[in-house]
Amino acid sequence: MIELRKVSIHAGQFSLKDISLLVPRGEYAVLMGRTGLGKTTLLESICGLRSIQGGKIFIDETDVTDWAPADRAVGYVPQDLALFPNMNVRAHLEFALRLRKESRVSINDRVSELAEVLGIAHLMDRSIHKLSGGESQRVALGRAISFRPAVLLLDEPLSALDEATRNQMHTLLREITRTTGVTTLHITHSEEEASALADRRFRLEDGRVV
C-alpha cells in the first residue's frame, strides 16, 4: 500500500500542496499529468530521495516520512534507468541482494528466477553499454524488484521504446506485478499504457492529485 497524506513539496519553480493519494496493497496505479507538474518529484519523495515540507508518507501502513531511502523497501525505476556503468547485467540483479547479505545460493536462485521471468538469461554477463533499450528496461526492472520490495515506482519507464517492445513490456509488467503482488505506482503520458496496465488512475493537475 502507498499512501500520501497532505504531502507538500517545494522544488524549484513549482510546489505541490496537500497531495493525498492511496494505492491499496497489490494494486497497479497510474499517475498521469502534463510535463513539469511534479510527477517525478512526487515519486522521488516516496522513495526518500527528496524531502517533503509537510504531510506524511505511508508504505504498508508504516509511516516512512523520515526514513532513509535504503530503509523504505521501494523498488524504483527512473526515467533514465540510471543503470550502473561499472556493472554487468548479473551484477545489477545481485546488487540489492548482496547489500542484504543474502547467501550465495539464495542470490543465485533469485537471479536465475529473475533472468528467466524477464527473458534476459542470455544477457547475464553482458556490459550494460551493449544492451538495447528494451533490454536495459528489463535490467532496470529486474534490479528494482530483485529484493522483493513492497512497492514498485516506475517513472515513464517505457517512453523510449518502440511499439512492439512496449507491448511486450506491458505484458511483462502485468505478469510480474500480479505474481509478486507488489503495489505499483507508474507515471506515464500514454492513455494506451494506462488502459493496458492500470487498476486505478490518478491525474496531477494544478498541484493537486485528482
**Considering the rule CB under 8 A, would residue 99 count as an interface residue with another protein?**
yes
How far is residue 10 from each of residues 7, 14, 19, 34, 177, measured CA to CA in Å?
10, 6, 12, 18, 32
CA distance 65 to 51: 8
Number of residues binding to another protein, judged by CB under 8 A: 29
Kindly indicate which of the ranges 8-16, 78-86, 162-170, 189-197 contains the residues binding another protein, using the contact rule CB under 8 A.
78-86
CA distance 182 to 51: 24
Kindly indicate which of the ranges 18-26, 75-83, 117-125, 159-167 contains the residues binding another protein, using the contact rule CB under 8 A.
75-83
* From candidates 1, 11, 22, 83, binder to another protein by CB under 8 A: 83
| Neighbour count for residue 205 (Cβ, 10 Å) | 12
Q: Do 92 and 139 contact (CB within 8 A), yes or no?
A: yes
Nearest 5°: phi and psi at 90? -60, -45
Binding mask 115-134 for another protein (x = CB under 8 A): ------------x-x-----
CA distance 164 to 144: 23
Q: How far is the CB of 195 from another protein (least distance, A)?
A: 28
**Binding to another protein, residues 149-208 (CB under 8 A):** none
Q: Do 114 and 146 contact (CB within 8 A), yes or no?
A: yes
**Considering the rule CB under 8 A, would residue 82 count as an interface residue with another protein?**
yes
**What cell was used for 5?**
497524506
Residue with cell 492511496: 22
Q: How far is the CB of 100 from another protein (least distance, A)?
A: 6
Q: From 46, 12, 13, select the one nearest 187 (Cα to Cα).
A: 46
* From candidates 33, 78, 134, 142, binder to another protein by CB under 8 A: 78
133 residue type, one letter: G
**Binding to another protein, residues 27-56 (CB under 8 A):** 44, 47-49
**Considering the rule CB under 8 A, would residue 86 count as an interface residue with another protein?**
yes
Q: How far is the CB of 93 from another protein (least distance, A)?
A: 11
Binding residues for another protein, rule: CB under 8 A, are 44, 47-49, 68-70, 72, 74-76, 78, 80, 82-86, 88, 95-96, 99-100, 127, 129, 143-144, 146-147
